[in-house]
Amino acid sequence: MTYSALSHLDCPRCGARHDADLVQGTCTCGSPLLARYDLRQVAGLTSPQDIAGRPADLWRYHELLPVREAGHVVSLGEGMTPLLAMPRLGKALGVPSLLMKDEGLIPTGTFKARGAAVGVSRAAELGVAAIAMPTNGNAGAAWSVYAARAGMRSLVVMPAAAPAITRAQCVAAGAELYLVDGLIGDAGRRVADAVARRTGYLNVATLREPYRIEGKKTMGLEIAEQLGWRMPDVIVYPTGGGVGIIGIYKALRELIELGWVRGELPRLVAVQAAGCAPIVAAFDAGAAESEPWPDARTVAFGITVPKALGDFLILEAIYATGGTAVAVTDEALLADQREVARLEGSFVCPEGAACFTAVRQLRESGWLAETDEVVVLNTGTGLIYPETMAAEVPVLPASGSCA
């Protein structure tokens, strides 16, 4: 039985075609590579009806994923996170058809588990024994645990300012972890140097290998399936390295080509923090690529990426769908983190909260209409960032009343 319809890897910059059954990094031209599938074969192998009967994890889309043999799947049960209606918040924001895809309910607590599950599975299938990566924390935690489950070694370097709990996740999983007094780009240089000096380590930094994006694209596949094989009007995504937004765009185009969904692609919205908004600046300038953002800082640590390798792919996804890019302040996103929990009971991560602030701003500016069906990606649980929620409350003596 054919498990995957993976055909080859394509370079979106120079058009070169690469063998998908060899371990690959970026193209010789420096661009990330994208996995391509034989979609006619996929259509012959499965259908939405067939998929409906499969287990509720991301491997239900295995024909559209790169792992060739079911036995090579490394899983902790990731995927098929809830797509929740947010009626009270939606009413408050003036967008009644507001939905949230809640990635807080996934192994490791963030959507990074998707990229790690698929990336580690495919790396293991191709014989890789050790991975190395820079991270803003959450991806390092995810890749460490999946590497552990695959019996692979992992080397992780993250900024000292990354969420502390992600360190614990890496250490618990037996990763070789280092903190760097700098940002993710500094961590990336350390990793590249280590990979060049050591033998057997694959650099799995954001978009430096082709399969993390395949895991993340399943968010797009799930949104379409959960809506009954149709697409919303708008998808709002907190953008750092951009893997998720590029992946969602890729997924929906694959579904259109398969004929499983029809109509216009959703307008894709990249949300960034005002303290690190290179994609927003590039979008405002109508540019095809971004410029490195100086002095990047925000409480939404996962989106502190001053220069993304795949910036041109993020911008293409926004331009091609009639989307936009929005920057929000830390103050506003922290206020909305509270508002989401107060109105809907969900404790979202600051990156997810930033997307609700963006919805608020886009509705106020009129870019969003009241009738738009809007899906926000909450990329992780708020539990990873306990310091973002001040909880100064009275301490009572052991006995007595609090009336």
Ligand X SMILES: Cc1ncc(COP(=O)(O)O)c(C=O)c1O
Residues that bind ligand X (CB under 6 A): 110, 112, 136, 138-139, 206, 238-244, 302-303, 349, 351, 379-380
User: Which positions ≥6 away from 19 have C-beta within 8 Å?
Assistant: 8, 9
Amino acid letter at 35?
A
Q: How far apart are CA 336 and CA 353, in angstroms?
A: 6
Residues ≥6 apart with Cβ < 8 Å to 168: none
Smallest gap from Cβ 49 to Zn ion, in A, equals 38
Q: How many CA atoms lie within 13 A of 291 on its CB side?
A: 8
Strand partners, 318: none
For 251, the token pair is 């997924």
Residue number, 27 or 58, with CB nearest to Zn ion: 27
Main-chain phi, psi angles of 57, to 5 degrees: -140, 175
Q: Which is nearer to Zn ion, 314 or 332 (CB)?
A: 314
Q: Is 14 in the site for Zn ion (CB under 5 A)?
A: yes
Smallest separation (angstroms) from ligand X to the CB of 351 = 3
- Is 207 one of the binding residues for Zn ion (CB under 5 A)? no
Please identify the residue of the shown chain whose CB is closest to the bound ligand X. 302
CB of 185 to ligand X, least distance (A): 13
Residue from the set 11, 58, 279, 353 that interacts with Zn ion by CB under 5 A: 11
- Give CA–CA dist 159/134, Å, rounded: 9
Smallest Cα–Cα separation from 283: which of 296, 291, 275?
A: 291
Q: Is residue 29 a contact point for Zn ion (CB under 5 A)?
A: yes
Whole-number Cα distances in Å, 342 to 89, 337, 339, 345:
9, 9, 5, 6
Q: Among residues 66 and 109, whose Cβ is nearest to ligand X?
A: 109
Long-range contacts, stretch 22-27, CB < 8 angstroms, 24+ apart: 22/126, 23/123, 23/126, 23/127, 23/128, 23/202, 24/209, 24/210, 25/202, 25/203, 25/208, 25/209, 26/207, 26/208, 26/309
- For residues 10 and 125, which CB has a smaller minimum distance to Zn ion in the complex? 10
Kindly state the smallest distance separating residue 136's Cβ from ligand X, in Å: 4
Q: Which of ligand X, Zn ion, none sits in contact with 11, Cβ below 5 to 8 A by type?
A: Zn ion
Shortest Å distance, C-beta 211 to Zn ion: 17
Smallest distance from the beta carbon of 191 to Zn ion, in angstroms? 22
Q: How many CB atoms lie within 10 A of CB 93?
A: 24
Q: Measured from the CB of residue 127, what is the shortest distance to Zn ion in angstroms?
A: 24
* Residue 103 tokens, joined: 């990635």
Q: Which is nearer to ligand X, 5 or 147 (CB)?
A: 147
31 binds, among Zn ion, ligand X, none (CB under 5 to 8 A by kind): Zn ion
Measured from the CB atom, the residue of 152 and 300 that comes closer to ligand X is: 300
Dist. CA 137–CA 141, nearest whole Å: 6
**Within 10 Å of residue 165's Cβ, how many Cβ atoms?**
16
Using CB under 5 A as the binding rule, whether residue 27 contacts Zn ion is answered as yes
Contact 151, 125 (CB under 8 A): no
Nearer to ligand X, 90 or 240 (CB): 240
Least separation in angstroms between residue 267's CB and ligand X is 17
Our CB check for Zn ion shows the closer of 29 and 56 to be 29
241 binds, among ligand X, Zn ion, none (CB under 5 to 8 A by kind): ligand X
Which residues of 86-147 form beta strands (DSSP E)?
98-102, 130-134
**Got the DSSP string for 154-197?**
EEEEEETTS-HHHHHHHHHTT-EEEEESS-HHHHHHHHHHHHHH
In the bound state with ligand X, the residue whose beta carbon lies nearer, of 46 and 304, is: 304
Out of ligand X, Zn ion, none, which partner does residue 144 contact, by CB within 5 to 8 A per kind?
none
**Pick from 24, 31, 337, 357: which binds Zn ion (CB under 5 A)?**
31
Picked from ligand X, Zn ion, none, the partner binding residue 136 (CB below 5 to 8 A depending on kind) is: ligand X
Residue 357 near which of ligand X, Zn ion, none (CB within 5-8 Å, type-dependent): none
Smallest separation, CB 103 to ligand X (Å) = 8
Which residues bind to Zn ion, rule: CB under 5 A? 11, 13-14, 16, 27, 29, 31
